[in-house]
Amino acid sequence: MWKFRDVISILDYTRDELEHLFSVTDVILERSLDVGKPLDGKIVATAFIEPSTRTRLSFETAAKRLGAEVINLEPHLSSMAKGESLTDTLRMLDDYANLIVIRSPYEGSAKHAADVCEHPVINGGDGTQHHPTQAMIDLYTIRKLKGRIDGLEVGVLGDLKYGRAAASFIYGLTKFNVKRIWLISPEPLSPRPELMDRLKRMNVDFVKTENLEEAVEDLDILYVTRIQKERFPDPAEYEKLRGSYVITKKLLSRASEDLKVLHPLPRVDELSNDVDDTPYQAYFIQAKLGVPVRMALIGLVLGVF
């Protein structure tokens, strides 16, 4: 089911497989992350050719907590800076490590890495659509805080076009039976046609709007995302759209008191600090859960769970 399988897209997983990951995560949390050192003697490599805080460091923490050692490719200090290709670089990592976690700005890099490497490859985010492990964490966070994913009204707000965390989260939701998905974005940042097609094909009840006010009272979950400045082909277009939404405590006063606000982080200006001390705040919990979910994932992929 999970063993030695590359993790490329959340779409490759069934609901049952995701539930299994969540159960393993539950056990890891029950044991306060102390599950011995089943990966003693193993090496995990991270190949991040794009900035990252949480994804890289929580993968590294997860691997170390399982007893593995970690090697990090630092692209600017590696021979990539001399012009070595990503493909050759990956071949080396495949010789050195038992598992490779990759992040890249280019669509399809993780699949390419999986084709080049014999060892399993995990996609830590490539391009604008796929960030499967973030979606796994997001779904697990909702299940943990709400006890279920089915039947919820979920708003996804911000950059639904270039944001791979948002896209993967929405794809992940289609594996469950949510009541409704609200897609809230400025029109130019609407989801890609292939994502819209999937929602239609899966008969998901969704509403597309530019207006958060319309949705806020009904939501159980509000997933906020950053407008992905670095992915705009035209900086002037970004300037027009920046600051389109700012989630504040005041704005949330009309929401249900059980609303949980998620955000894959980093935040820039779309989520005010004044939400941090409210019961709505779930984004720091979500970030913290990154470690146990990734421990479960690495353990499953390396066949020790």
- 20 CB burial (10 A radius; 0-12, 13-18, 19+): middle
For 203, the token pair is: 């008969």
131 touching ligand NCD, by CB under 6 A:
yes
User: Which residue is it, tokens 């593995």?
Assistant: 68
Specify whether 25 is catalytic.
no
Sign of CA dihedral 177, 191, 287, 56: positive
The answer to the question of residue 44 lying near ligand NCD (CB under 6 A) is no
For position 160 contacting ligand NCD by CB under 6 A, the verdict is: no
Residues within window 220-249 making contact with ligand NCD, judged by CB under 6 A: 226
Residue 54 near ligand NCD by CB under 6 A: yes
Residue list 162-201, contact with ligand NCD (CB under 6 A): 164-165
Of 42, 119, 130, 131, which one is the catalytic site residue?
Answer: 131
Q: Which is nearer to ligand NCD, 55 or 185 (CB)?
A: 55
> How many angstroms separate the CA atoms of 191 and 180, rounded?
16
Residue nearest ligand NCD, CB atom distance:
264
Q: Is 54 a catalytic residue?
A: yes
Question: What is the strand order of the sheet 180-184 is part of?
Answer: 206-209, 180-184, 153-157, 221-224, 260-262
Alpha-carbon gap, residue 196 to 190, rounded angstroms: 9
Interacting span for ligand NCD (CB under 6 A) from 149-157, 176-184, 241-249, 264-272: 264-272
143 binds ligand NCD (CB under 6 A): no
Nearer to ligand NCD by C-beta: 156 or 265?
A: 265
Residue from 132, 264, 292, 299 that binds ligand NCD (CB under 6 A)?
264
Question: What is the rounded distance in angstroms from the CA atom of residue 267 to the CA atom of residue 265?
Answer: 5
Residues serving a catalytic function are: 54-55, 82, 103, 131
